[in-house]
Amino acid sequence: MEKIEEQFGNLRIAKRCALNGDPTYLLDIDVSKSVEAESNHLVAVSCSNKSIKVYNRETLHLLREYSGHPGLLNGVRFAHTSENMLFSACSDGTIKCWDIRLATQETVQSFRGYPSNIFISFDINCSDLIVCAGTEKVEEDTFMVFWDARSNTNYACAAKEPLGTYSETHNDDITKIRFHPIKPNLVVSGSTDGLVNVFDINKENEDDALIATCNSNSSVSFIGWSGKDYKQVYCMTHTEGFCWWDLTQIDTEEPMTLLQILDVREVVFIENSNLNYLIGGLYHEKADKLFVVGGTAMGNIHLINCGIDGLSLVGSLPGGHSATVRSFYWNMTDDSLLTGGEDAQLLLWKPGAVERSLVKKASMKIASSVQQQVRVHSTSLKRKKK
């Protein structure tokens, strides 16, 4: 822990990229992760103005921009086996895939949902074979929709139709989808119904596929995998709660819950600062530690350690952003950190870095034009468990 605390505390801003034009929220960040990308990582950012921007990770030089989406963007992901394939989900009921080597706005693949589908979450599994998206509730229907992600040789192919859906295990908006980092058949979903469900998609039907149902007792805002061999799942809620479960206890008499905190803001003490919200979590493989990342309305970032005995502050990064931080990506290889916020800034933090320009961008936090993207959903719960 001391080493992690030192690494985090030594982070300084190395590069700062401010979006020009209209103020824009930076909603999601992903970094290319294939072997071929080791020497030249790419960064993709989804923005509240319905655009996706791709940068060189070291220089934050803009390489590609994809705009003109008909709806709100809900996530951006690089393929695991190729740094050139970039996926995004849109509220118009489509998943799109671009080859960033091509200087065109045209997609190389698209995946179409059913007519009523509004996608608000998605992920691609670690083998790049399956794409899954979660929908907003329409009337009484909520779906997890699956597609075959393998590319066709013909770039001009028609939009792919779904392989199938899960529709019985959530009864409200599916806010997050996360495939297992190393097992392509496992996926976890989180919803505003308070449930976090774990599935084995190799099973023939939804009932058999459902491995575990965990109840967060609040609307789920973030989910992830953790622990050795990633046999744990955790979530955060729209009410700033935190839950952590051990899947190895599914078939035992022992409780699955490792930790459950209704409001993290009430239990984490931060001297001369405060904690206003949670951004997400990360599992540090080398340290075998789970961390929560949170922040303040003025843009300070806090790293919080998670243990079965509770949460504790590791360190803070002040002075980078000037408004709420919405997204981050911690690179375990070089201990660098990327953050994006409501001040329309993308920051690259590196150990011991010195920023050439120390001018902090004035707050550009915009009004409620994108609040539909971050609305706090109903916390009605699905009481009956599978």
Q: Is 40 in contact with 59 (CB distance < 8 Å)?
A: no
Q: What is the pLDDT of residue 333?
A: 84
Q: Is 151 in contact with 131 (CB distance < 8 Å)?
A: no
Contacts of 210 (CB under 8 A, 6+ apart): 169, 197, 198, 199, 386
Sheet holding 62-66, edge to edge: 26-31, 42-47, 52-56, 62-66
Q: What is the pLDDT of residue 21?
A: 65
Q: What is the pLDDT of residue 133?
A: 98
Q: Is 47 in contact with 27 (CB distance < 8 Å)?
A: yes
First to last CA, the chain: 38
Q: What is the pLDDT of residue 153?
A: 56
Q: Which residues of the chain have pLDDT under 50?
A: 37, 358-359, 361-386
Q: What is the pLDDT of residue 316?
A: 95
Q: What is the pLDDT of residues 321-352, one digit of tens each?
A: 999 999 999 998 888 999 999 999 999 999 99
270, 128, 125: which is closest to 199 by C-alpha? 125
Q: What is the pLDDT of residues 196-227, one digit of tens each?
A: 999 999 999 999 999 999 999 999 999 999 99
Within a 10 A sphere around the Cβ of 166, how many other Cβ atoms?
A: 24
Q: Is 71 in contact with 50 (CB distance < 8 Å)?
A: yes
Q: What is the pLDDT of residue 127?
A: 96
CA–CA dist 235, 226 (Å, integer): 11
Q: What is the pLDDT of residue 306?
A: 97
